[in-house]
Structure 1
Amino acid sequence: MRAISRRALACGTSAMIMLSTGAAMGQGAAPPGDLEEIIVTAQRRSERLQDVPVTVTAFSAEEIEQARLRQIDDIASRTPGLNFDAFPASQPRITIRGIGSSDRGAAGDPSSAVFLDEVYLGRPAAVAFDAFDVSRIEVLKGPQGTLYGRNVVGGAVNVVTNRPQLDRTEGGVELTAGNYERLEAAGVVNVPLVDGKWAARASGAWRTHDGYVRNTFTGGRVEDQDTRSGRLHLYGEPSEAVRLLLTVDGTRDRATGPAQHVLDLDPTDPMSALWTVDRNRKYTAGSEEGYQDRDTWGVRGQLDWDLPFATVTYLGAWRDLDYHAAYDFDGGNSSTNPVGISGGNDEASSFSSHELRLGALPESRIQWVAGLYNFNSDTDRVDSLVIDMGRPATEIYNQAAKLNSYAAFGDVTVPLDDRFSVIAGLRYSRDEKEYTVSNTAGTAVLRGSERFAVSVSDTYNAWTWRAGGQYKLDRDHQFYGMVSRGFKSGGFQDTPGSAAEAADGFEPEYATQYELGQKGSFLDGRVVWNNTIYLMKYTDLQTRRTLPNLSIVTENAGKATIKGYETYLSWRLFAGARMTATYGYTDATFDRFEPEPGEDYAGNRLSRTPKHKIVLSPSYETGFADGSSLLFAADYRYESMIFDDNANDGPERRPATHFVDGRIVYTAASGQWTASLWGKNLTNEVTRTFQAVFLGANFGAYNPPRTYGATLGWRF
């Protein structure tokens, strides 16, 4: 594969030179192409995506709407280098370029994070939003922090909602019906207020469907959905120099499941004789249907004040999370399994952030930003595990964590001439954590008889940075190089087996990324082709491991090297026809990791990271004499095999997958009416979305089956 990648890169470089020559020779000979330009704020200022010297995958509002990108897993399925995993689905685990975290404990942090309108969603279960009335979604890959408030080591997903418009009244309604009794409704309205100086924008969505899986023991269905979300913006420009945006949003989510199965047996464990393999995705036989309930909401305020030399911005937010989940882990009951495994999580979190920054005006020759940031969180969490061998044995862990995070950051882009610019950024972070964990409840038989209540605290400091350069051949072509360093603070164990384990925290992890990139628009704008190669040195990465006493701890795993290549191609083949293709190659392996004496994982692949990921999206739009149009579009996605465990030698692996989605969209001549027929997973592909070996078996869950429906939209 290394040889193939080198040849592909060499061919790509040669092709870019030829295309650049053709584009230069053809300038002025033909009208510009009609590929849309996406404006992003990856560098905390509005820029064309093609002008940004970082690797960003961006989804426009039109693509989000037509392809039904509703949740974070929809974004992950179409983004090379981004992977999504969850157990249960209401607590997503996000991995970007091989860097992710399985730690959901009260004292842990995600390695790759989600931001909603620049506000950090600090807990996994808080990643709950509806992508209706969204302007764009940006996926930033690699360490972030000299520009974004909260430092992340792997990357960030930034969801940007539509802001109120001062000069017009507009709105729309969207209705959907589909299989599994799917019913959805969404709406938005924008209203100017107070002589055009203020405006309000309200949006809401309600989405339901029946369970994908039938529970043969309870008679019900699991893996259903009942989600309600809403958002209200109030925006004003009381003067030419002042802009104010106030937002309140919330999501209420109710679901059953997940549907668990015994996927494989572990022949090295004598307890494997207790289990029977069950790989029928359509059915489960759990002793309970379980529940996944979460309520999260927040308020946000942003003030921008233009001074003669810069813009002052204050961004403040407060969010609340109330989360409850219970599930049958083994997918069986007393009539099928001699052992029953179940568990649950209860969490109440609140977190707030404050950011004050000063940034250069858009017309400034030197672009810069400097700021101060503070993030605070307070989390109470209960994790429970029950193993029933005729007599239930229960472990209950109570966790309470407080985090106070402070940072100062700055970033500058200095043009040395009309083509070449140098870029540099620096950040200082300080995280203060206080944590208490106890297992004073339960039957005290799973992980020994020791009962404890331990309180610990620690402080983590780090300097992180980025430095690089950007060279623009012309408006349509650039090359860039960047070195960036990221940091994620340490933490403490959520389900330790003893007081000693509880007091033994884990250290921060660091990643240094070296990246070279090219972005180009060719053939008079009909082709956009971007390429990136990168090398990442990852040290002290935080990994989860099950100990012989069944306790699960997070520890630092030594070193890893991640190498990759990503390419994006969008081509208007002819009038109405377009092909978009993306490919990501990720080689993520441990350099040093010895979890136990005699165990050496050096050379193993990092978990949940496919080597190859391809997304192909052909489309064709034809117009009619009355001005209406019909769009035919499809998406093909391929992911190579994934290891779900760092050992790389057990049954925890997912075979390669092939997914196909499709849609037909009719747009009326007025542009006000749209009607679409759509389908997801049209080939009914079956893959594992979660799996873990425990007590002699590999337990896991499957992806949703084929879904389809019709959507009617109206705008005014």
Structure 2
Amino acid sequence: MRSHHMKHWLGLVTALSSGVALNVPAFAQDASGGSGSAERDLEEVVVTARNRSELLQEVPIPISVVSGATLDRDRTFTVAELSQRAPGLTATTPNARRSGISIRGIGKTSGNDNMEPAVGVIVDDVFLGHVGMTYQDFTDLERVEILRGPQGTLLGKNTSLGAIKYTSRAPSFSPETKLELEGGLSTESYKARGSYSNALVDDLLAFRASGFYDNQEGDIENVANGGHWHERNRYGGRVQFLLQPSSTLSVKLNLDGAFTDENSNTKPFMVDPTTLNDGSVRATTYTTRLARDYFGGYTPIIGSWDKIELDMARPLITDNYGASAVVTWNAGPVELTSITAARWFHFDAKNDQEQTRFAIARSGTLVDTRQISQEFRLAGDINDRIDYQTGIYLFNIDTDTTSRNTYGADAGAFYASDSQYRTLNTVAGRQLLQASLRDVFSVTNQQPVSDSAAVFGQVNWHLTERASLTLGLRQTWEYKTNEVYRRTTLLNGSSLVSTGNATADAIRAAQAGADYGVIEGQRIKDDSIAWLINPSFQLTDDVLVYASASAGEKSGAVAFDNNGGIANVEPEKSLNFEAGVKSQLFENLLTLNVNVYYTRVRDYQNVTSEPDPTSPTGFSSRLGNIPEIRAVGTEFDAAVRVTENFQITAGGAYNEAEYTHWSTATCPRSFPSTVAVCNNTGRQIVGAPRWTGIVGFDYQLPLASGFGAHFFGNHVYRSRHNLEQLLSPYGEQSGYSLTDLGAGITHETDSAKYELSIVAKNAFDTQYTTSVNDFSNSAPVGYDGIGPRRYVGVILRSSF
């Protein structure tokens, strides 16, 4: 029976090969690291996608798996880097708060703390409730699983489009030491990672401690002060304790933290259009503002990938830390699991708003988020053919988020309208220009709070030896509140007083906006159901076919418009159909997994810009709902052994993701103001390339006396796609490829293994972005998600 086959392979869960490639099972290897002739077939991979240990090839879900060894080898530590290893996964990470993760082009978020992620990220069984919690280096991992399609019946809150599941390496009762040091050849960098595990009390208590330090000089020169931005300066660690008082009871305690303090929040300005799409001339632009004689003939930097000018920006600070306790008790007929967790997220951005040498404006958001969760699971067998999981999940998250704007002495001359500037462009008037906004400090604060509770269950019914049916159901209850206020003062905290001039006061009022006291949002009290029907059939021992129908819901948000008005967002509802084949062919020398899907999402939540006559730019950005989108496509994962020491892996996706109903979209800013509504129905959705292809290789060359050579690489291609929220023509990202290459020398003894490697990330120095901000009357088009440039590093790694 399949259960007997499962037991035979469970021991592999901690033995994933160092040769595993991007997203499929590794090739079995002998103890020397070479490929034994008796073990030429592909190694089975164990996953926990359904909260239990199962063979990847026997789980009827489209899953890509990347082993910890591959993550280490390819220097894949962030979500953005992970997106180069799995088809269908994309990520935008200009900073923590504006991070966005999508599967099949659906699910990105963008800089709004009321919005919850639709692609759930789960780390060691703990759901991360704020997308900013994913902005960190994930290291010392056993594996990462990327699950495509709704996963809500088991994996829970807001996984209606898919999930990423991280699993850390567990404590060991025998000594285990790993250490690696890295230095940059192309860029100044100093990096280190390490871990140590051992028993504190034999057969009772073990621990594992790991840490990392990542410092890399930025690849964008700040001409204002000679420094470099787009850098990495981060560190963190994890400590785990594993208590096993008996063979049936285990307790794992986790404490972790990841911290950044880096000049990284960059947005190079790329183009400042002089005309609109009807040929009409833009009267006031970013460039024309800076061409005013107040600024002395200054020319801003526009169109450069490697230079920027920042005067008022400060380093970006992001802190992620938390604790969890996982208790597992195998009580014989049932297994009970308790997961108790708390996490904190802190974010502090102080950006140079207009990116010049002048004291014009600094903006940024301060965010503090806390979440606590409790999950109880019960799993067991009803009889020989039916097994189940059931449980309850409790979750609370509250956030304090403050948007801040600080204005300098030159702000009035920049933000004044043309007529206002002409009125005050005199010797005496320039003092009023400066007084209009100098030291003005404006804040808008929101405090969203969410409580949710859920009960869930999933049953696997093995109808025959080869046919199975999985049924799942989850009921969730949500209660959400929020409040907002806006206040404008001087930097010293004193109240604003009139400048004594109506024109100067008007400049201030237009930029700072009107104050208002605390406004209570419209509370949400709602419930939703997620369900799954998932039949599968084992055609042969090596071929599984499956299908599924499922639905999920992402909760709504208590939100406000730009002036504090009520603007709640409706829940997002997804319906998904899948069919696929998982196969191991030619005596397990080839693994080929293929699936097709149809996903429909109604009331798709997205940050949208809407006309707003009270806004200085003429637009305001807020959460909203797009009536309907649809994604239809196919994906595949494959691996093949070419020789005993050479393997090739591949993955790909074709994704037709379109707005099926968005006939009243706000037009991009390239349209004249007289055209306020555009029909985006039928257009490919934001951030969704139609074609994605991934190919990798791994070649191990045994040498004499325990030495060996290692060569590896990974190449990803994404076709053309639009990255601007309203599908502006300036948001087009051309198709591009990214290539990582590496080579190393290894030496292995009976007790230790050493490796000296050289790795090139983005080896051909491709220029690309993952996020675009459209222009306004005070800013050009900005590429705020530019990818890292070529990096070449040398790594010395040891394990013993």
What is the TM-score when the length of structure 2 is the normalising length?
0.82
1:52-131 matched pairs, under 5 angstroms: 52-88=59-95, 91-131=98-138
C-alpha separation between the residues in 2 aligned to 1:321 and 1:418? 48
- Cα drift, residue 625 of structure 1: 2.6
- The equivalent residue for 2:243 is 236
Between Structure 1 and Structure 2, the one with more strand by share is: 1
- The equivalent residue for 1:699 is 782
- Cα drift, residue 395 of structure 1: 4.6
Establish whether residue 589 from structure 1 lines up as the match of residue 602 from structure 2.
no
- The equivalent residue for 2:425 is none
- The equivalent residue for 2:568 is 505
- Please give the per-residue CA displacement for 1:645-674, whole angstroms capped at 9, x wherever unaligned: 354342112111111110012221325111
- The equivalent residue for 1:687 is 768
- Cα drift, residue 97 of structure 1: 1.2
C-alpha separation between the residues in 1 aligned to 2:122 and 2:596? 25
Q: Pick closer, same or farther for the CA change 1:348–1:499 going to 2, 3 Å.
A: closer
Establish whether residue 556 from structure 1 lines up as the match of residue 625 from structure 2.
yes
**From 319, 322, 333, the counterpart of 1:309:** 333
C-alpha separation between the residues in 2 aligned to 1:493 and 1:380? 14
* Residue identity opposite 1:613 in structure 2: T
- Please give the per-residue CA displacement for 1:233-256, whole angstroms capped at 9, x wherever unaligned: 110211121111111111121111
- The equivalent residue for 1:484 is 550
- The equivalent residue for 1:351 is 371
- The equivalent residue for 1:254 is 261
Which stretches in structure 1 are left out of the alignment for 5+ residues?
A: 1-29
Say whether the 8 Å CA contact 1:101–1:542 is kept in structure 2: no
C-alpha separation between the residues in 1 aligned to 2:458 and 2:570? 27
**From 598, 611, 615, the counterpart of 2:694:** 615
- Please give the per-residue CA displacement for 1:463-520, whole angstroms capped at 9, x wherever unaligned: 11110201102332100001111111110336x22233xx120100011110001110
**From 358, 372, 375, the counterpart of 2:392:** 372
Establish whether residue 148 from structure 1 lines up as the match of residue 218 from structure 2.
no
Q: Pick closer, same or farther for the CA change 1:271–1:52 going to 2, 3 Å.
A: farther
- The equivalent residue for 2:602 is 539
- Cα drift, residue 563 of structure 1: 0.6
- The equivalent residue for 1:10 is none
Q: Pick closer, same or farther for the CA change 1:646–1:126 going to 2, 3 Å.
A: closer
- Please give the per-residue CA displacement for 1:14-45, whole angstroms capped at 9, x wherever unaligned: xxxxxxxxxxxxxxxx9663323221100111
1:141-220 matched pairs, under 5 angstroms: 141-166=148-173, 168-178=174-184, 179-220=186-227
* Residue identity opposite 1:134 in structure 2: L
* Residue identity opposite 1:434 in structure 2: T
Say whether the 8 Å CA contact 1:394–1:444 is kept in structure 2: no
1:283-432 matched pairs, under 5 angstroms: 283-334=307-358, 342-360=362-380, 365-385=385-405, 388-390=411-413, 391-392=436-437, 395-432=442-479
- Cα drift, residue 389 of structure 1: 4.3
Aligned residues: 679
- Cα drift, residue 202 of structure 1: 0.8
Establish whether residue 463 from structure 1 lines up as the match of residue 476 from structure 2.
no
Q: Pick closer, same or farther for the CA change 1:68–1:87 going to 2, 3 Å.
A: closer
- Cα drift, residue 90 of structure 1: 6.1
- The equivalent residue for 1:435 is 482
- The equivalent residue for 2:641 is 572
SS at match of 1:177: strand
* Residue identity opposite 2:270 in structure 1: L
RMSD between aligned residues: 2.1
C-alpha separation between the residues in 2 aligned to 1:102 and 1:518? 32
- The equivalent residue for 1:658 is 737
**Which segment drifts farther, 504-513 or 467-476?**
467-476
- Please give the per-residue CA displacement for 1:90-117, whole angstroms capped at 9, x wherever unaligned: 6421111122232543332111121111
**Which segment drifts farther, 43-52 or 127-136?**
127-136
SS at match of 2:587: helix
C-alpha separation between the residues in 2 aligned to 1:298 and 1:660? 34
- The equivalent residue for 1:515 is 578
- The equivalent residue for 1:708 is 792
Say whether the 8 Å CA contact 1:264–1:277 is kept in structure 2: no
* Residue identity opposite 1:677 in structure 2: I
**Which segment drifts farther, 364-373 or 634-643?**
364-373
C-alpha separation between the residues in 1 aligned to 2:284 and 2:691? 35
SS at match of 2:771: strand
Say whether the 8 Å CA contact 1:567–1:584 is kept in structure 2: yes
**Which segment drifts farther, 130-139 or 82-91?**
82-91
- Cα drift, residue 263 of structure 1: 1.3
SS at match of 1:690: coil
C-alpha separation between the residues in 1 aligned to 2:127 and 2:653? 26
C-alpha separation between the residues in 2 aligned to 1:31 and 1:170? 28
- Please give the per-residue CA displacement for 1:296-333, whole angstroms capped at 9, x wherever unaligned: 21110011111221101100101112221111244333
Q: Pick closer, same or farther for the CA change 1:149–1:590 going to 2, 3 Å.
A: closer
Q: Pick closer, same or farther for the CA change 1:649–1:323 going to 2, 3 Å.
A: closer
C-alpha separation between the residues in 1 aligned to 2:509 and 2:164? 41
- Cα drift, residue 621 of structure 1: 1.3
- Cα drift, residue 128 of structure 1: 3.8
- The equivalent residue for 1:12 is none
C-alpha separation between the residues in 1 aligned to 2:44 and 2:466? 21
SS at match of 1:311: strand
Say whether the 8 Å CA contact 1:258–1:290 is kept in structure 2: no
Say whether the 8 Å CA contact 1:478–1:520 is kept in structure 2: yes
- Cα drift, residue 294 of structure 1: 1.6
- Cα drift, residue 575 of structure 1: 2.3
Say whether the 8 Å CA contact 1:271–1:695 is kept in structure 2: no
SS at match of 2:132: helix
Say whether the 8 Å CA contact 1:399–1:437 is kept in structure 2: yes
Say whether the 8 Å CA contact 1:589–1:606 is kept in structure 2: yes
- The equivalent residue for 1:22 is none
**Which segment drifts farther, 291-300 or 128-137?**
128-137
SS at match of 1:586: strand
SS at match of 1:146: helix
Q: Pick closer, same or farther for the CA change 1:493–1:332 going to 2, 3 Å.
A: farther
Say whether the 8 Å CA contact 1:32–1:524 is kept in structure 2: no
Establish whether residue 136 from structure 1 lines up as the match of residue 143 from structure 2.
yes
SS at match of 1:524: coil
**Which segment drifts farther, 548-557 or 678-687?**
548-557
- Please give the per-residue CA displacement for 1:575-615, whole angstroms capped at 9, x wherever unaligned: 21111111111111111112357422111221111111111
- Please give the per-residue CA displacement for 1:124-166, whole angstroms capped at 9, x wherever unaligned: 2221443321100111111121111423222111110011123
C-alpha separation between the residues in 2 aligned to 1:580 and 1:361? 37
SS at match of 2:511: coil
Q: Pick closer, same or farther for the CA change 1:315–1:465 going to 2, 3 Å.
A: same
What is the TM-score when the length of structure 1 is the normalising length?
0.91
For the pair shown, the structure with the greater C-alpha radius of gyration is 2
SS at match of 2:562: coil
- The equivalent residue for 1:641 is 720
Which stretches in structure 2 are left out of the alignment for 5+ residues?
A: 1-36, 277-281, 289-299, 414-435, 490-507, 613-618, 667-675
**Which segment drifts farther, 446-455 or 192-201?**
446-455
C-alpha separation between the residues in 2 aligned to 1:318 and 1:364? 38
